[in-house]
Structure formats: C-alpha cells, structure tokens
Amino acid sequence: MLDVKNMSARDLEKIGELEDVWPFVCTKVTPLLTGDGLIVPVETLNKCVTIHIKRRIAERDPTTLLADVRDLLRTGMSGLDTTLLHLRDDELVVRTVELWRFFYRSILPYCDAVFLPLQSEFDGAGPLMGPAESARFFDRQKVVPRDMRSVRKLTMISFRDWVVLPIMSRLLKICASETMPVPQPLVLSLLQCTSILASVHSADDRQARLDELCALVRTKIVRSRS
C-alpha cells in the first residue's frame, strides 16, 4: 500500500498505471470537503487530476470528466451537514451562514487549488491542450457552456444545489417574515452568500430560485435600515 504522505515520483507513476486513479483522488479530497483537511500535498493531487484528465481526453469523453468532478463535489457538499432540515428557523439561518463561511474561506480555495489542472485545460493553457484543442474537446457533446468552464463556478453551483436549495423554501419563508429571528450581522452574511452564489449566472431554474432569495434578503436589509 502506498504511503500517501511520503509519496515519491515513482509511487505517483504507479498510481498513474492504476484503473482507480479517480477513486484515489476522491478519497483524499472528500475529507477536505467535510472539514478534515488535506492529508496529501496539493501538488500530488494536481498530478493525479492531470492523469485523470489525460485519460478522459484519450477517450474523447468530456461528459464523463465533468460528471466525475460534479459527483465528487456533490458527495462532499451533501455531507457537510445532514441536520439542516431538522433545525429550528433561528438555528437554520445561523448554521447556513456557518457553512457558507467555511465553504467560502476553506473549501472553495482548496478546490481551486486541487483542480487547477482542470481549470488550466478549460482555459487551453494546460500541458495537455492548447486553446483550439480545449475548445474542440469541451465543445464536444455540448458538455458545458464556455462561460461555465470554471472550477470555481462548478464548486459554487454544487454548494448552491446541495446545501442551499434543499432548504430554499424555508429560507424564503424566514426572510419574508416580518419578525426574522436572526441578528442583522447574520442577515448580512446571508446576503453575501446569496449574492456570490447568484453571480454564477447558470441561467436555469436553480439560478432563478437563488436570485429570488438574494432579492428578498436585500429587501429585508434595506427595510431594516429605513
């Protein structure tokens, strides 16, 4: 068994020969998404991600490549806090803001770092594809619009879809209440959360629901100051 904490270049080559290189990445990244932190260097994960991208390019399969990343993010986001649906209204907003802060300050930067090889290939600036090759590969099967070829956007969409949207109806109800049961600083943090997530502009029903919540939170703040 490989000692992942002291992985040599030869060890990394062995990983590249395995069929389960992506499960290896998942087992090392998932703990990060649940707050346990990375147990291997980011550089090691970068190399493994590059190996996986290279394999999908050889298979001419951008759909599976993006599905791999989305599934990993979904697994992590879904496990951030399984108690949200059972919290009281005042606890729900507090916990949502806590999760947002952890996501924005820790998870998002780490995902940017771990999946930097993918972002480089999105941009046509990586070691595997130039701009023309990248455009042809990701345009195949219309896997993802060009303006959505962003690791950061994929990560934010995952937080939106698997953390915020499942409690969206309750958040809308809480924010519409005349007696919102949370302090003003938390409302401001919720506005930061919804505004940044809304900046993804995914142009779908989920974007519309997030826009609705963002507008409601903004209105609540304006009224509280008038």
pLDDT tens digits for range 131-169:
999 999 999 877 788 889 999 999 999 999 999 999 999
Are 115 and 69 spatial neighbours (Cβ–Cβ below 8 Å)? yes
Q: 112-135 pLDDT, tens per residue?
A: 999 999 999 999 999 999 999 999
Q: In the prediction, which pLDDT does 111 show?
A: 95
Q: In the prediction, which pLDDT does 198 show?
A: 97
Are 86 and 80 spatial neighbours (Cβ–Cβ below 8 Å)? no
What's the rounded Cα separation, in Å, for the pair 176 and 145? 34
**Domain coordinates in residue numbering, the chain:** 7-225
Look at residue 3 and tell me whether its pLDDT is greater than 50: no
Q: 35-68 pLDDT, tens per residue?
A: 777 778 899 899 999 999 999 999 999 999 999 9
- For 17-29, b/e burial (b = at least 16 CB within 10 A) is eeeebbebbeebb
Tokens of 86: 């059972």
Are 32 and 107 spatial neighbours (Cβ–Cβ below 8 Å)? yes
Between 15-29, 71-85, 96-110, the lowest mean confidence (pLDDT) is in 15-29
Query: What's the whole-number mean pLDDT along residues 179-186?
Result: 80
Query: What's the whole-number mean pLDDT along residues 76-94?
Result: 90
Q: In the prediction, which pLDDT does 13 show?
A: 57
Look at residue 207 and tell me whether its pLDDT is greater than 50: yes
Q: In the prediction, which pLDDT does 4 show?
A: 46
Look at residue 98 and tell me whether its pLDDT is greater than 80: yes
Between 20-24, 27-31, 215-219, the lowest mean confidence (pLDDT) is in 20-24
Q: Mean pLDDT, the chain, as a whole number?
A: 88
What is the pTM (predicted TM-score) of this model?
A: 0.90
Tokens of 119: 């972002």
216 vs 35, which has greater pLDDT? 216
Query: What's the whole-number mean pLDDT along residues 19-25?
Result: 81
